[in-house]
Structure 1
Amino acid sequence: MSAPKVLRLHMERFRGFESLTWHPAPGMNIILGGGNVGKSTLLEAIALLLHPTNSFILSDSDYWQRKVEEEFCIEAVIQLPDSIGINRQSTVAWPWEWDGANAVLPKLDTDENSGQPVYKIQVRGTADLELVHELVQPDGSSIHFSTALRRSIGLVRLAGDDKNDRDLRLIQGSGLDRLLADKGLRAKLGRKIALDSIEDELNPEAQEKLSELDTKFGERALPTELGLGFVGGAGLSINALVGLTAKKNAIVLPLTSWGSGTRRLAALAIADTLQERAPITLVDELERGLEPYRQRSLVYSLRKNVSQTLITTHSSAVIGAAAGSALWYIDAKGAIGALPADKIATHQQLDPETFLARLAVVAEGATETGFVKVLLTRFLPTWEDEGVHVTDAGGNENVLKLLEAMSEGGLRFAGFADCEPASLSPTRWGIVKAHLGDLLLRWEQGCLEENILPLFSPLHFDQLITDPEEAKRGMRLRSLADRLGLNGEITTQMIQDKAGDQLIQLVTQAATGMVPASMKEDKQKTKEWKGHARLWFKSVTGGHELAEKMFSLGVWPNVETKLLPLINALKTTIGYEERI
């Protein structure tokens, strides 16, 4: 089933955006970003374009830098199905053609297949604080973009201000109004309510006052036989007093009095009933009022619909459930960028909080994750409160993909990676390094253990083989003995004597799971030797242990020149120095 879709949104001088162009995806769009960067403004721009009435009140804060005299303009290129009825207007709305990036003039004198027909709509905020809705024609002229057509396109909007009962009332253009589609209800309600004598419910004193007023009206030749009734007016409709009710414990309650999460789900249930028209759906802060399991359920429900859906969120549960959706990030400068799905899909499921952090530190693996957390605790004690999040990318290939994706999306991030012999394109790493500078620490060669362990002295051997819980000491000795060909009972002295001046190199080989080329034909032994790494530092706790020993055993001065640039860059990025 075809549905309305915004293919391109362009804003000029609207609120905090001097200029912005965005190409939302056809299905579900998840918009991320820090506080006050304009996530909700994107949704409100589309809501303004398709506002179902002409009663919207502008203020000077809706204009860029409050310069009302310069006006603002919101323009969208939109795809519309025939069922919308755009061709049944009194004035013909001529289509444009979509070239994949913008609306272009149709090719009339060609035998080639014509492109996808689209329409260009816009709303202008004038210097008089008035809205003007227009359809832009290919010849440059404009015609009125009627409220009837805007309602026909349809819009389901759940704002983040906790006033989500609009679609639960018979307000003109609301979800409930479009669902019931009873155009004569307003008149019938007026007639029915007019028959009710509200004045009969007044107490005697109030009735006497009303009677005195009636007499005074007569004396002044004003209308008489006064009474009380429900009266609609500009900005106030009798229908707005009518809303959905439901029973709880045999008591009829308005649905607007239920919890915010229930109200939101109820409004979307109305939208689902309207799916034959598949209205564009806007959900600001989807997580509001919903437990994580209901957040996931709502995301799954929205993904099933053919409607174009635009969501803002601060919830990792929402991001994790939105597999296959388009993720967008708005940075502090008001620029919006896409997070490539092919590069973030796995991480989106494993650690969605990465995309919500103020600053994400992408560590290559578990060891690096534990190691970096100790560094942060040493030099930025309040790093978690500052919005820094350390995430495990899950390998050298994954860390590069994730860093590239975050660079394209405009997120603030840092990286901590190995330099593997069979690493991916050095050109790609060079591009990431140029973008991040000191925020990327990538060893010149080898991995973390290969750069840190050789700095320890043989005198540190006993401390290196002893883990904090003293649970792995025996297994670590065994891994070294296997590599030395020692069988039976072993002692630390036996290993030290056998290894000689190669002792620390032996520890490094065991800690990295190194397998000599001559042994790789023996699959069983290869598997065992690779498994040695898990007995040492190949885990988050192992990375933590390695970092703590680096400090406690005096190795830090030998490596600080390599690690300090990253730490200082992290401090600068979050403004840490200015607050201490």
Structure 2
Amino acid sequence: MARIARVRINNFRGISSFEWHPRPGFNCLLGAGDSGKSSILEAIGWCLSANGHRHATDADFHGLDTANPIDISLVLIDLPDRLLRLETYGFYHRGFDPEARELEDEPGRGLKTAFSITLRIDWTMQGRWSLDTARVEDEGDRHDMALRVLRQLSLLQLQDESTSQLTFSRGSVLFKLAEETLELNGALADASRAARSVFGDTAESQLKETLEQVRSIAGDLGIGPAVGARATLDASQVTLRPGNIALHDQAWVPLTRLGLGSSRLLIAGLQQKAKSGADIGLIDELESGLEPHRIVRLLQALGAKQPNSDFQVFATTHSPVVVRELSAEQLLRVCNIDGVIETPAIDPVTMQGPLRLYPEAFLSQSVIVCEGAGEVGLLRGLDHYRIGQGLPSLTASGTALIDARGVGNILKCAKAFHQLGYRVAILRDDDAQPDAEQEKLLVAEGCELAKWPNDHALEHAVFLGLPGDQGLEVVRRMIDLFGRQSIEQQINNHLPQGQSFGFDMADLADGELTDDQRHACVSASMAQDKSWLKRRGIGVMEEIACDVIGPALDHCQPWMREEIDKLFDWADDA
């Protein structure tokens, strides 16, 4: 099967310039809305479909500038035998070096035999295809041969409604599944005649008076052929073709009426079984109309789970299910910077884990990389509180939270997201620091850094940053979770000799922590085998942040309040 080795797009819709070398098999584009993902698929479809009846509009030109033509160029390699015939196509063959990603005008040793096809649309709004080669100067010949080549290719488009694929029209997946051996013209002609006969008999009885008037008037006027006039279907208009044959369900409802997701899934499954399948597939918003388990099934049907699929697919998605199911190599991040499309590679070593754990982050605009689950819970809880107060939320600003799972991973994760074009912020403890020079470089490149001061960890922020009465409220919640005896004993173990926690129930409700008790709570809560805030996942910290820290934030220590405000202000500025 032929595949695309290079895509170049200039001055098409929101794209001023774009160059990409897609991989064999499955290619899925992800990025912010209006970044140009769908336009890339549309451009590929325009170039490969050779639809001479399609007319562009001013809106198809970048910046509505019709003075600069639309240019869409594709390099095709792995050509089937029918397109390698030297006597037919030899003058138009070129050579492509897949390692250097360079196109040569002549085929040669170590090069893939290739076609370079360009679609150009100028101010006349008419598209003109051409096979690019320096060996043939006549533009008309290059145009005619380009159309001839494109007719030899098979394109499966699942962009919108694809109902024709569920009929036996020529080129449909059903036609290919039948191995193109359909000999139905005779049967369809008989069916057309039978339909005219049946309708004619019905019309004869229902239109009897009208027909008698027509015959009488024709006789009076001497129009012989109309004297015996009958009403039936027009033989010149009613001709059944294979395209009129469609699949139906048990109740004789056409399967062309299936929902978008179901029809796409069925077509993809049929395509997989067809012996002469499509070379290239296009599917925009892959997840449309499908539940998560059927999204996975569609990916399987499109060959996304096959390591060496011959079927090259170009898809777009906004679904975390799709992101989670695909490998890093199959995903392409699309960044549109004033019309120039950049596609930074997603490093499989660094990012495959986050793709599985936090697929939503790859569909966001901004990412806060947190040192651990406690920091994720803190920001989630504060976000819930802010929403209740009518303040902007992190989700509204397109911000996702990532658990780096330790200070040793935080800069590596932040750098990887930064290189992919995301806005990145970091929230970390200061009891253990990452590489200072690397962190300084990330901050200089535009990453935001929020951290607790003076070797503090999250536990310091909770018990030293909060007012004393709110710190005691946190202790009360720990007692509810882990029992009074256990929590008091742990605090007493870290108090100066002669002191005891010793709050009764009334004090727990109305009192506040002393400075010694605050520091004892920090030490007790950080004990690795007794960690209060992390022992039960992010839920404990999320609840404390929403119910305790959020309402008290204005009265917290400035160093705590400033770091938290810094992150939410950064997210709001997206």
Looking at structure 2, the residues matched to 419 and 68 of structure 1 have their Cα atoms a distance apart, in angstroms, of: 56
The aligned counterpart of 1:430 is 440
1:256 matches 2:256: yes
Moved more, 133-142 or 264-273: 133-142
1:395 matches 2:406: yes
Listed as ranges, the matches of 1:508-527 within 5 Å are: 508-513=522-527
The aligned counterpart of 1:19 is 17
Listed as ranges, the matches of 1:53-202 within 5 Å are: 53-87=51-85, 90-92=88-90, 93-98=92-97, 100=99, 102-105=101-104, 114-137=110-133, 143-144=142-143, 145-159=145-159, 161=160, 163-180=161-178, 182=180, 185=183, 188=186, 191-192=189-190, 195-196=193-194, 198=196, 201-202=199-200
Change (3 A) 1:279 1:108: closer
1:244 matches 2:255: no
Listed as ranges, the matches of 1:78-477 within 5 Å are: 78-87=76-85, 90-92=88-90, 93-98=92-97, 100=99, 102-105=101-104, 114-137=110-133, 143-144=142-143, 145-159=145-159, 161=160, 163-180=161-178, 182=180, 185=183, 188=186, 191-192=189-190, 195-196=193-194, 198=196, 201-202=199-200, 203-204=203-204, 212=214, 228-229=233-234, 239=241, 241-248=243-250, 251-274=251-274, 279-301=279-301, 302-303=303-304, 304=306, 305-331=309-335, 333=337, 334=339, 335-337=341-343, 338-379=345-386, 381-383=391-393, 384-419=395-430, 421=432, 423=434, 425-438=435-448, 440-443=449-452, 445-451=455-461, 453-455=463-465, 462-467=472-477, 470-472=480-482, 473-477=484-488
Aligned residue for 2:310, secondary structure, equals coil
Change (3 A) 1:96 1:375: same
- The answer to whether the 8 Å contact 2:94/2:106 transfers is no
Aligned residue for 1:314, secondary structure, equals coil
- The Cα of 1:8 is off from its aligned counterpart by 1.9
- The Cα of 1:311 is off from its aligned counterpart by 1.6
Q: Residues 438-494 of structure 1: CA distance to partner in whole angstroms, max 9, x if unpaired?
A: 4x424465533345544457777644422177223443333334557999x975379
Looking at structure 2, the residues matched to 240 and 429 of structure 1 have their Cα atoms a distance apart, in angstroms, of: 65
- The Cα of 1:158 is off from its aligned counterpart by 0.8
Looking at structure 2, the residues matched to 323 and 416 of structure 1 have their Cα atoms a distance apart, in angstroms, of: 28
- The Cα of 1:135 is off from its aligned counterpart by 1.8
Looking at structure 2, the residues matched to 326 and 316 of structure 1 have their Cα atoms a distance apart, in angstroms, of: 14
- The answer to whether the 8 Å contact 1:9/1:77 transfers is yes
- The answer to whether the 8 Å contact 1:366/1:538 transfers is no
The aligned counterpart of 2:502 is 492
- The answer to whether the 8 Å contact 1:361/1:415 transfers is yes
The aligned counterpart of 1:560 is 561
Aligned residue for 2:531, secondary structure, equals helix
Q: Residues 319-363 of structure 1: CA distance to partner in whole angstroms, max 9, x if unpaired?
A: 222235522233454534233232221122223222223544332
Q: Residues 139-167 of structure 1: CA distance to partner in whole angstroms, max 9, x if unpaired?
A: 585623544532433222211x3x12132
Read off the aligned partner of 2:233 and give its amino acid letter.
L
Aligned residue for 1:245, secondary structure, equals coil
Change (3 A) 1:279 1:328: same
- The Cα of 1:98 is off from its aligned counterpart by 2.0
Read off the aligned partner of 2:443 and give its amino acid letter.
K
Looking at structure 2, the residues matched to 469 and 477 of structure 1 have their Cα atoms a distance apart, in angstroms, of: 8
- The Cα of 1:201 is off from its aligned counterpart by 0.8
- The answer to whether the 8 Å contact 2:494/2:523 transfers is no
Looking at structure 2, the residues matched to 210 and 270 of structure 1 have their Cα atoms a distance apart, in angstroms, of: 53
Read off the aligned partner of 1:326 and give its amino acid letter.
Q
- The Cα of 1:72 is off from its aligned counterpart by 0.7
Moved more, 564-573 or 170-179: 170-179
Change (3 A) 1:75 1:361: same
1:507 matches 2:547: no
What is the TM-score with the length of structure 1 in the denominator? 0.78
1:32 matches 2:37: no
The aligned counterpart of 1:479 is 490
Looking at structure 2, the residues matched to 354 and 218 of structure 1 have their Cα atoms a distance apart, in angstroms, of: 82
- The answer to whether the 8 Å contact 1:365/1:394 transfers is yes
Identity percentage of aligned residues:
20
- The answer to whether the 8 Å contact 1:8/1:24 transfers is yes
**Over aligned residues, Cα RMSD in angstroms?**
4.1
Give the length in aligned residue pairs. Answer: 537
Q: Residues 154-194 of structure 1: CA distance to partner in whole angstroms, max 9, x if unpaired?
A: 222211x3x12132224443323444454885864774456
- The answer to whether the 8 Å contact 1:456/1:504 transfers is no
The aligned counterpart of 2:508 is none
Moved more, 202-211 or 65-74: 202-211
Unmatched segments (≥5 aa) in structure 1 = 514-529, 574-580
- The answer to whether the 8 Å contact 1:344/1:401 transfers is no
Change (3 A) 1:457 1:232: same
